[in-house]
């Protein structure tokens, strides 16, 4: 396991996955929390974090005991941390105040269910930057104003850079930039130790091309109490960012964010931390590059403040597209994509179809790209619970609805394991309604699979199949119109979505895992049984699409993808289904289709 794998396990609240790892250049474990009331412990925390910053990044895990093994420390068992024993906000403040210059993107959080651990993730910092801390004194009082120390990580240990090595670094800097005056050198050391460098900094210093913009935005928020620079401004993609802090504890820190074409936004530090953490599940990608940057409401270009008690934040500009970070009352922050529609179909759109040629397929595929889902498992108990629920599921109700509307009562009561593999990582069940002569007429399938080498997401699929039009007609009785009405097709797709999103994911205990990519729902209608005379019949011969208006006929398949949260309330899900089907109709030639044509 590498650093990214360890972070994914911690974000998935599975710290036990780290057991048997060895402490190394990027991993350090502590059995007990830092006692921050003790000056020595506070100095030790600053030393450990600063060493990882100087050594390319890493993670400190608190609450895991180690054992010695061949001159190495192996993570041995979880001892846990009492939430009352460690104040994470105090940890963050100490890191900000004791390490110079300010670190970028440090995350401090809890991980685990019953026995919780604390982790401090120090990402790789800007190249060519040396991080220093006040020289340790081991007693209360102000740090000495004339000394600094440089912590470094060497393999699985942390130590101070030797005086001779510091002298060599200083000499190299002097050779490159010239000898500073005695007063300038004394001021630099004093600022590094006392954390007062912000007093000498200008807003925007470090980004000369954006300095004026940042200064004007800061001035426009003069009444918000943003404080002074905590370090030089820095660029991230298209954004210009400025860390701000107050000298006194208890006052909020901020991040001032400027993105071209948008109103400036000042974000309280806890909310900014939540934004960064929301994108941390993006494999191999910087979190902000995934989720993007805060978007202010319509403010006519005026700066906007997002305070620590905000309930939601709109984000855009990342590879995940427009989204919203929200938290319910007393809940955790969670990112969700803002709903949008397209025609892109994933790998699973055609999965589980081998050997099948139904007359009509109505399918919903829910893609759940949970971070850290590789460790999930489907238990025997959860499988049995699903077997009990399938006969009363929304999908079973959709099959019954289709028969009742044609004067028959054909309940979808008997479900059996399907042909697509059942294991600790996959599930497949099917229910078939036959004609009086035993020919399959109508069937329903559910499939659920955990990530595979070919598919990185958890995938849940539910569908209804008209196996054979003649058998379907015989099953409901002679003289019945077996062509589906558009609102019936809509109802089946909605029921399939509800089953795939609400029922099937209960097969695993996923908790509140962050996303590794935007989730989506794929809705698909397809005619698949070839006719001897005309090939595959057009979809509109099996589903009455006339409410969509003229045009678009002759196609055997139509599909649409909703990028959005699959686990929305029923009313919102129904509205999204209507809008998605109209988007699909427009893209496939039914240009006059309107939402009010659907129920």
Reading the chain (599 residues) residue by residue, the pLDDT tens digits are: 889 889 988 988 899 999 999 999 999 999 999 988 888 888 899 999 999 999 889 999 999 999 998 888 999 999 999 988 888 888 988 888 888 888 888 888 899 888 899 999 999 887 778 888 888 876 665 555 567 888 888 787 888 887 777 777 777 766 666 666 555 555 555 555 554 444 467 899 888 889 999 999 998 887 777 888 877 888 888 899 998 876 555 566 889 999 998 899 999 888 988 898 888 888 767 888 899 999 988 766 678 899 888 999 999 999 999 999 998 876 788 899 999 999 998 888 888 888 889 999 999 999 999 988 888 899 999 999 999 999 999 999 999 999 999 888 888 999 999 887 788 899 999 999 999 999 999 999 999 999 887 778 999 999 999 999 889 999 988 778 889 999 999 999 999 999 999 999 999 988 778 899 999 999 999 999 887 666 788 999 999 999 999 887 788 999 999 999 998 999 999 999 999 999 999 999 999 999 987 87
Cα–Cα distance measured from residue 222 to residue 576, given in angstroms and rounded to the nearest whole number: 42
- The CATH label, of 3.40.50.10310, 3.30.950.30, 3.30.70.270, 3.40.50.300, for the domain at 3-195 is 3.30.950.30
Q: How far apart are the first and last CA of the chain?
A: 51
Give 223's contacts (C-beta < 8 A, 6+ positions apart).
Answer: none
Collapsing DSSP to helix, strand or coil, 331 comes out as: coil
CB atoms within 10 A of CB 274: 19
The closest alpha carbon to 450, from 369, 383, 513, belongs to 369
The closest alpha carbon to 386, from 474, 297, 279, 502, belongs to 502
Cα–Cα distance measured from residue 484 to residue 493, given in angstroms and rounded to the nearest whole number: 12
Cα–Cα distance measured from residue 329 to residue 311, given in angstroms and rounded to the nearest whole number: 8
Task: Give residue limits of the domains in the chain.
Answer: 3-195, 200-336, 341-349+357-592
Q: For the CA atoms of the chain, what is the radius of gyration? A: 30
* Entry field: residues in the chain: 599
Residue 222 φ then ψ, to 5°:
-60, -35
């Amino acid at each position: 396991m590498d650093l990214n794998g360890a972070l994914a396990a911690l974000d998935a609240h599975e710290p036990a996955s780290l057991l048997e790892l060895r402490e190394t250049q990027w991993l350090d474990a502590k059995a007990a929390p830092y006692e921050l009331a003790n000056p020595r412990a506070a100095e030790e925390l600053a030393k450990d974090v600063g060493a990882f910053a100087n050594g390319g990044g890493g993670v400190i895990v608190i609450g895991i005991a180690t054992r010695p093994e061949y001159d190495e420390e192996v993570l041995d068992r979880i001892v846990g941390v009492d939430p009352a024993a460690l104040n994470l906000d105090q940890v963050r403040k100490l890191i900000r105040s004791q390490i110079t210059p300010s670190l970028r993107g440090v995350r401090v959080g809890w991980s685990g269910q019953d026995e919780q651990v604390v982790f401090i993730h120090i990402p790789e910092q800007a190249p060519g930057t040396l991080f220093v801390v006040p020289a340790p004194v081991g007693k209360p009082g102000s740090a000495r104003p004339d000394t600094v120390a440089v912590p470094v990580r060497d393999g699985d240990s942390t130590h101070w850079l030797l005086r001779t090595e510091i002298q060599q670094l200083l000499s190299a800097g002097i050779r490159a930039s010239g000898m500073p005056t005695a007063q300038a050198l004394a001021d630099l050391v004093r600022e590094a130790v006392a954390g007062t460098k912000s007093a000498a900094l200008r807003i925007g210093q470090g980004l000369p091309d954006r300095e004026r913009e940042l200064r004007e935005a800061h001035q426009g928020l003069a009444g918000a109490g943003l404080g002074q620079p905590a370090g030089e401004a820095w660029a991230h993609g298209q954004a210009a960012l400025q860390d701000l802090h107050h000298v006194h504890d208890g006052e909020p820190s901020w991040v001032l964010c400027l993105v071209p074409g948008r109103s400036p936004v000042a974000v309280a530090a806890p909310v900014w931390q939540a934004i960064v953490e929301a994108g941390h599940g993006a494999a191999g990608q910087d979190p902000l590059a995934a989720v993007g940057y805060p978007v202010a409401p319509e403010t006519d270009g005026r700066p906007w403040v997002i305070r620590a008690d905000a309930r939601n934040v709109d984000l855009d500009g990342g590879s995940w597209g427009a989204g919203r970070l929200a938290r319910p009352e007393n809940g955790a922050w969670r990112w969700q994509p803002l709903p949008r529609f397209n025609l892109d179909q994933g790998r699973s759109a055609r999965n589980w179809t081998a050997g099948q040629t139904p007359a009509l397929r109505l399918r919903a595929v829910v893609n759940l790209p949970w971070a850290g889902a590789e460790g999930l498992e489907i238990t025997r108990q959860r499988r049995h619970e699903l077997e009990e629920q399938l006969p009363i599921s929304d999908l079973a109700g959709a099959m019954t609805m289709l028969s009742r509307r044609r004067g028959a009562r054909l309940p979808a009561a008997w479900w059996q394991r399907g042909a697509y593999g059942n294991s600790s990582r996959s599930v497949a069940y099917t229910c078939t309604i036959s004609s009086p002569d035993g020919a399959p007429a109508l069937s329903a399938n559910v499939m659920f699979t955990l990530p595979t080498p070919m598919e990185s997401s958890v995938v849940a699929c539910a569908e209804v199949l008209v196996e054979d039009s003649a058998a379907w007609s015989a099953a409901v009785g002679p003289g019945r119109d077996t062509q589906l009405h558009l609102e019936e097709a809509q109802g089946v797709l909605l029921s399939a979505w509800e089953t795939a999103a609400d029922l099937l994911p209960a097969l695993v205990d996923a908790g509140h895992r962050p996303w590794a990519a935007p989730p989506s729902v794929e809705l698909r209608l397809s005619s698949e049984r070839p006719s001897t005379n005309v090939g595959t019949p057009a979809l509109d011969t099996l589903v009455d699409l006339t409410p969509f208006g003229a045009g678009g006929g002759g196609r055997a398949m139509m599909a649409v993808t909703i990028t959005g949260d699959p686990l929305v309330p029923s009313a919102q899900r129904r509205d999204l289904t209507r809008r998605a089907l109209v988007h699909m109709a427009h893209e496939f030639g039914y240009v006059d289709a309107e939402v009010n044509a659907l129920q």
